[in-house]
Chain A
Amino acid sequence: MIKAILVFNNHGKPRLSKFYQYFAEDMQQQIIKETFQLVSKRDDNVCNFLEGGSLIGGSDYKLIYRHYATLYFVFCVDSSESELGILDLIQVFVETLDKCFENVCELDLIFHVDKVHFILNELVMGGMVLETNMNEILTRIEDQNKLEKQEAGISAAPARAVSAVKNMNIPQQIKDIKLPDLPQAIKDLKF
């Protein structure tokens, strides 16, 4: 069984947390913190398994993680899971993310946590591995996305119009226009 799946960045900021066993929110934060401390001090060329982690699990549990650029993907699993199997699963997860977000980066995870959750739900359910075949996973995700789009089409035009207006997102567009240039210009001035 998988007890928890955590994704955080190089500074320990959580990007995704999924606990398959109940922990109160503050405990969850402590676990993320502890896990980050354990994982972050390890070099990239050491093995991806870690025992210990006093808060979550115990002797039967292992932390299995992968480090991609700015993100750590950590799975906390018990002895009934195969270590190398879980490493493969992390790979499948990340590759699926990559397909869904087209060249995924940390920002995608930051702004679309909900979508990441939906993707993860197609891989793991209630701490058990649901599907490891990436094509199958991708079809399921696409199907559900289509369903959402359809709904947006059927469900009354006004809502759609509003969302369209909303998508214009005027304040943001103003920001978008300004931001790329201004800070850079200021920086150029200073340095």
Chain B
Amino acid sequence: MALKKVKGNIERMFDKNLTDLVRGIRNNKENEAKYISQCMEDIKQELRQDNLTVKSNAIAKLTYLQMLGYDISWAGFNIIEVMSSNKFTLKRIGYLAASQSFHCESELLMLTTNMIRKELNSQNQYESGLALTSLSCYISTDLARDLSNDILTLLSSTKPYIRKKAVLMMYKVFLKYPEALRPSFPRLKEKLEDPDPGVQSAAVNVVCELARKNPKNYLSLAPVFFKLMTTSTNNWMLIKIIKLFGALTPLEPRLGKKLIEPLTNLIHSTSAMSLLYECINTVIAVLISISSGMPNHAASIQLCVQKLRILIEDSDQNLKYLGLLAMSKILKTHPKSVQAHKDLILQCLEDKDESIRLRALDLLYGMVSKKNLMEIVKKLMVHMDKAEGTVYRDELLSKIILICSQNNYQFITNFEWYITVLVELAQMEFGSKQGHVIAAQLMDVCIRVLAIRSFAVTEMAQLLDVYSSTSQFTIMQDVLYAAAWLAGEFASGLEDPEQTLRCMLKYKSLPQHIESVFIHNILKLFAHILKKYETAKQYENILELCDTINTKLSESIKSAELEVQERASTALIIINIVKEEITARKNSKLIDADHDRPEEEDLIAGEILSLFNGELNPVAPKAQKKVPVPDGLDLDAWINEPIELTSDSDNETDDMENLFVKPEKFESENRNEKYKYEPTEDDLKKSREARKYEQQNNPHYLKGITLSERSSSNGNDNLENIPVAELNLNLPPLKVMNQKRSDKYLDLQKEEKKSKKKSKKKKKHRKSESSSDDNADLAPTVEVKRDLELPEGATLSDSDSDHNNLDDPHRALDIDLDLPPVGDVMSKKVDRKESKDKKVKNKSKKKEERDKTKKSEKQKAKKKEKVENLLKLTAEEETKGGEETKLEDKGKKPKKDKKKSKEKGKNKTRKSTSDYEEALGISTPTKEKYSN
């Protein structure tokens, strides 16, 4: 026996420990994977031994490998073995491995329940602390239910270290087992006034997290928090409390009014930027929640904005970023006060830091006016040229469009300029989704602004021209969608419709929705041109045009996309009809030459144009609701009397019920019954062969290329064999759109301004007139069509969007604590079956909720009283404040001293930061060698 032990020990001497493993990996950089797989074998060997020390060594190594991305869940059982060791050293390794690799769905967790319970109740505070820390990473519903009582008792442990951890642990328990929240909440509340500041802070932390869901539960705690806020010096806790108040104020405006004073005091007094920032944030939240104007309302906004300005002007990029972030919150409710700092925000647009530029962009929305819009957009366009990475470009684009289009293009004075900007944007590179944004914008502007149509259409024609004449196409294809549609719809504005038509006919392979728009609009354009030629009796031209279109469309008719096919064939038939008719007329004209001009009604063009008649108007979403139901129309009435159910078969009755709802199902069911045919082996073989044969002969079938084929076709030696078509040297002049055309509008505006200034000066001689409003002197000259009015009660946002996010882990905490509990859940253990069967649970929950709502209505009145009382209390406390604090001071003195010393410690560490950063960089040379 002794010999065996000695032998084991000697063997262990040569075992690799964690350090050896790490060193080994570093020495085997070339074949790391191989080395690790070898180590894995060793580890498996070690895990097979009885000695726990050996096992723990193996587990420690596994934990390291887990960080490198290796799955170690297979060792779960061994981890539990090591966890169960009675040595703290080994246990620690086991619990660490567990916290890294276990998760709440691990089945092994069942095995740990009793072990963890034993550990939680351990005499050694570090052992139970270890178990708590580890458990917090993988607690499951079962564990939470089984251990919640044990953790709850730890809340009253004598050791603050345990209390602190237990408090935090309770939150994790609530997340997994929400039923525990109600009974344990009073205990948690007590912890807010724990003598130990660490426990206090942990309790505040937990309540803050809880308040993310159903914050009104925690309104009753407001007085406690208020006291903590005014007395505590722990910045970390203060931040949390202030954040919590930010969440509570929307529910109780009176709370907000009370908060403003202490918060502004904190803003003035604190030196910690983090605290200052959170204070400002909460003040903003308070001001937003108080709708009615308060006397000192403007003053606090002013204070916030001022402080934020200091933050933004700071050289620290972090403060700058946060300052801008908070500004955007103010912008929503108090745009005027932010606008005063326009200079600063525009300056931030130039910042070298992308995050800051993005935040500044958010603010830009409120900064624009008629006067500076062009200038700002010009700046953004310059950024667009310089920007790297599509994320920032995309953001810039959407912001340009947002600021220009806000409020029905309120700030745009020159739509020609805007169209040119859009066309320029269309020629830049963006992420895949941006094309349609520009396209939608182009179409929107043209539909709404009548005056701009002819200009826009010529621009579009130019775009199409560039598209068809350049092989390397830089315009986003989605923009072509808009270009084609606009050119077709507003063809009357085109300078040379036939030229545009020919450009459009040159389309190459396009996405299907664009191709179909092309085909449709080719038809529109054709109708337009037809009219011109027909009135001029140039039948030859028409016939020639028909042929050109025919050849192109007969290509599209072979398209794989149904939509394209259908449109192409429709268009083709219409063209053919026209062609026949025109030929007939041409012949008749040859015979009957006296008829000089065909009657207006006789024109074929008129008939075809009538296909596309009608003006488009912008319609508000949900405008349908405004359309009244005509008299005598009953939407619920049967169109046909329901067919009497005469047949006895159940199946058929089912089908009848589904007649309108699930026609597919109906069909498929029937089909299944009819063709219950099982192919035999031979049949399958035959059909397979037939299919292969068909695939080979079908020109539209994309054949898979075998590897050899692919490699040969990609090979360099084949490059020379590629047939190259001879270039037609009679090239049309290269068409490149002038990139910076939008600038001329800006210059124009500037000139206008100058002239205006001059005239103003002249005016000033007579009258000292000052125009405070930027928008006053630049009145829009163009009319913008607005959306049709929304029906009453309809809102733009979907009302049903506020349903709960199913992925939200905090969803379960949406419990109303003020309602009487539905039985003491803690003592009543829920059946496992029930907890697993979620459907059943949900149903019962719904029932409970229904009951609750009935009760809650009665409760609401009571609650209001409660809150009012509480608020009164706080007021009284404040007035008493002086006396009370004196009394408290005696009791709390030692503690306060502690706090002070802590503060000192903090200050010290802050000072040493810069030294420290250097220290970290200098890795001691001896250590470096050691590693080699």
Contacts and interface: CB of A to CB of B under 8 A. Distances in A.
Nearest to A67: B917
Nearest to A29: B69
Contacts of A45: 317, 352-353
A14 B17 CA distance: 20
B922 A148 contact: no
Given A49-B355, A128-B209, A147-B88, A107 B931 contact: yes
B919 interface: yes
9 contacts: A26-B69, A83-B318, A88-B274, A91-B913, A114-B64, A114-B93, A118-B92, A126-B133, A165-B13
A132 to B, nearest CB: 5
Interface string B197-235: 010011001101100100000000000000000000001
A103 B919 contact: yes
A91 B318 CA distance: 15
Contacts of B922: 103, 105
Given A43-B352, A95-B909, A166-B17, A17 B67 contact: yes
Nearest to A104: B920
Closest 5 CB pairs of A and B: A126-B136, A84-B274, A69-B921, A105-B923, A22-B103
A132 B96 contact: no
B63 A114 contact: yes
B850 interface: no
Interface stretch (B165-173, B467-475, B714-722, B865-873): B165-173
Interface in B96-132: 96, 100, 103-105, 124, 126, 132
Contacts of B930: 107, 176
Contacts of B920: 68-69, 71, 94, 98, 103-105
Given A105-B920, A179-B929, A80 B13 contact: no
Nearest to B237: A132
A25 B69 contact: yes
A71 B240 CA distance: 29
Contact of B929 (A26, A130, A133, A180): A180
B321 A47 contact: yes
Contacts of A183: 932
Contact of A166 (B13, B92, B171, B240): B13
Nearest to B25: A110
Contact of B905 (A18, A134, A159): A134
Given A83-B318, A140-B161, A113 B137 contact: no
A113 B69 contact: no
Interface in A85-110: 85, 87-88, 91-92, 94-95, 98, 103-108, 110
Nearest to B139: A126
Contacts of B64: 113-114
A160 to B, nearest CB: 11
Interface string B269-297: 00001100110000000000000000000
Q: How large is the interface on B (under 10, 10 to 19, 20 to 34, 35 or more residues)?
A: 35 or more
B356 A47 contact: yes
Interface of A: 1, 14, 16-18, 20-22, 24-26, 28-29, 43, 45-52, 68-71, 80, 82-85, 87-88, 91-92, 94-95, 98, 103-108, 110-111, 113-114, 117-118, 121, 125-136, 140, 143-144, 147-148, 151-152, 155, 158-159, 162, 165-166, 172, 176, 179-180, 183
B19 to A, nearest CB: 6
A19 to B, nearest CB: 8
B67 A80 contact: no
Given A47-B356, A82-B277, A152 B89 contact: yes
B902 interface: yes
B70 interface: yes
Given A118-B96, A155-B87, A14 B165 contact: no
Contacts of A148: 88-89, 92
B277 A125 contact: no
Q: Is the interface of B mostly helix, strand, loop or mixed?
A: helix
Contacts of B5: 158
Nearest to A182: B932
B327 interface: no
A68 B87 contact: no
A65 to B, nearest CB: 11
B512 interface: no
A178 B137 CA distance: 44
B156 interface: no
A79 B182 CA distance: 25
Contact of B22 (A85, A110, A132): A110
B547 interface: no
B905 A46 contact: no
A128 B71 contact: no
A14 B104 contact: no
B322 A84 contact: yes
A105 B105 CA distance: 37
B239 A85 contact: yes
Contact of A117 (B17, B96, B240, B355): B96
B236 A129 contact: yes
A70 B928 CA distance: 14
Contact of B168 (A94, A125, A176, A179): A125
B236 A85 contact: yes
B352 A130 contact: no
A24 B126 CA distance: 29
Contacts of B212: 80
A110 to B, nearest CB: 6
Nearest to B73: A25
Given A128-B209, A144-B126, A46 B137 contact: no
A82 B88 contact: no
A12 to B, nearest CB: 12
A90 B929 CA distance: 29
Contacts of A98: 916, 919-920
B18 interface: yes
